[in-house]
Amino acid sequence: MIYKNDQASLQGFLEDTSNIKTGHTPGAFFPETIEELANLLKGAVAEGRRFTMSGNGTGTTGGRIPMGDYVISTEKLNHIGDVMQIADDQAYMTVQAGALLGEIQKKAEQHGWFYPPDPTEKLCFIGSTIANNSSGARTLKYGPTRKHIARILVVLPQGDLLNLARGACMADDNGMFKLTLPIAGDLVFQRPQYSMPETSKHNAGYFSEENMDLIDLFIGSEGTLGVIAEADLMLIPLPESIISCLIYFRSIDDLFSFIQYLKIQHLKNPNNQASLRAIEFFDKHALGFLTAKYPEIPAESAGAIFIEQETTTESEEADLEALFALMESCNAMSDESWMALDRDEQAQMREFRHALPLIVTEWLRKQQESKISTDMAVPAGKIRELFDFYRSSCEQLGFIYIIFGHIGNEHLHLNILPRNHEEFLLGKSLYRQFISKVLALGGTLSAEHGIGKLKAEYLVEMYHESGIKEMARIKKYLDPFLVLNIGNIIPAAYLENEQH
């Protein structure tokens, strides 16, 4: 197995897009087979090693950044299997953890199939997207990654291989999971007892619901309970046709009315072929950042909406007419808006959406301070209140900020971009106020990016001490010697104190 411990090779593993700068590691392993990966974990206690799993470093919360532990990179485990059709409208593909999401999507599409999860950034590894239950714009129609995973092969912290198909291991009526493994022996443990918020997206802490599937405990557990080594991804037929458009508004009230009516249309008909799959938002400051690359953005726009709607050749004209009518009735800047009907132009429009976080990251590289960013979502009907709260709080303090993201799922990212350390500290204390506000609205601390190391200290506000202790209990049950991804989700102090 390849092992590297020279500083030049290790430096990249000390970073992701969180801007955490305190990572350090004695070395990185690059298993080339799943057996090698399992052997590393089997030998962890005897060798006195702890491991942090690494994908491709596009995460936003420092999850892959080691704090003194060894790194395991999955980059050599990158096999993408063939498309296996199992019904007219169903296929699957077996992939290893280190396969690139963009390559998987491309291969599926070449064969006329579609893997819906699309967390904006295509340079991520599929194993990480499962470990993080990644979402993205299309989650509006298709839900997060967990909805598209038929099977995972997990390497547990003691080195057991657990081959887990969806439906194979369910919690009983008391919430108990039972399984027997060669190394860990008989495992009997209870799912977390807390309930999750009523948001359409939620990705903070371990998944929990009545009679849940064990596969859903691992999906989204951010590598704390096991390593995703391989997975079967469910594929559906590629949509026949798509309408994409970027619509500008002079008034933010008109923009919000437009979304409201659009969603009413969508909810009437969520599962048929002609259906909205993405509603994304840009405030005027976000558009301001994008203007350097896209000078055609109209200066007088107060905000913009990017939508993607699946359609068919037969209904495309009627769908376009309905969209134009809605734009007119909501005073959209129709003449300045951008409509894309062919795949090349649609890819350019998606690139517009992708460009924003990249431009902000580039801007931040020139600053001394890290951004303060929210990833919170609220239940249906509450997003306007949260948007106004974000906006007025930032305006009062004179911050540079942008608000953008997945408004269709009542989920907006606020990025505060501090110019100095004083602003950074003010932004951090504001972040706590945002958490209180979102929780009061019944929302979630993280809708998609997860908790990682960056947000672990805040999770207690959502689940209280009791909820964090429940997660620590499960973590210690599956990882009794604490060898895997320590520091993600659960603050270390809870692992030291909690008895399993």
User: Which residues in this chain contact ligand FAD in the complex, by CB under 6 A?
Assistant: 16-17, 52-60, 63-64, 74, 97, 119-121, 124-125, 127-129, 131-132, 134-136, 222-223, 227-228, 357-358, 448-449, 452, 485, 488
Instruction: For the CB of residue 430, give the shortest distance to ligand FAD in the complex, in Å.
Output: 23
Instruction: For the CB of residue 5, give the shortest distance to ligand FAD in the complex, in Å.
Output: 19
Per the listing, tokens 């976080």 go with 357
The two tokens of residue 40 are 């590393």
- Give 323 or 360: the residue with its C-beta nearer to ligand FAD: 360
CA gap 262, 429 in Å, rounded: 36
- Give bridge partners of residue 414 from the DSSP assignment: 403
CA gap 293, 82 in Å, rounded: 38
Instruction: For the CB of residue 198, give the shortest distance to ligand FAD in the complex, in Å.
Output: 20
DSSP helix/strand/coil, 322: helix
Instruction: For the CB of residue 222, give the shortest distance to ligand FAD in the complex, in Å.
Output: 5
- Give 131 or 234: the residue with its C-beta nearer to ligand FAD: 131
Burial string for 266-276 (b: 16+ CB within 10 Å, else e) reads beeeeeeebbb
* DSSP for 114-144, written as a single string: E-----S-TTSBHHHHHHTT---TTHHHH--
- Give 129 or 311: the residue with its C-beta nearer to ligand FAD: 129
Instruction: For the CB of residue 17, give the shortest distance to ligand FAD in the complex, in Å.
Output: 5
Instruction: For the CB of residue 89, give the shortest distance to ligand FAD in the complex, in Å.
Output: 26
Cβ contact 49:7 at 8 Å: no
The two tokens of residue 468 are 């964090």
- Give 64 or 107: the residue with its C-beta nearer to ligand FAD: 64
CA gap 473, 466 in Å, rounded: 10
- Give 58 or 311: the residue with its C-beta nearer to ligand FAD: 58
Q: Could you count the other beta carbons within 10 Å of the beta carbon of residue 422?
A: 10
Beta strands in 284-393 (DSSP E): 303-311, 338-340, 372-373
- Give 150 or 228: the residue with its C-beta nearer to ligand FAD: 228
Instruction: For the CB of residue 162, give the shortest distance to ligand FAD in the complex, in Å.
Output: 12
- Give 128 or 158: the residue with its C-beta nearer to ligand FAD: 128
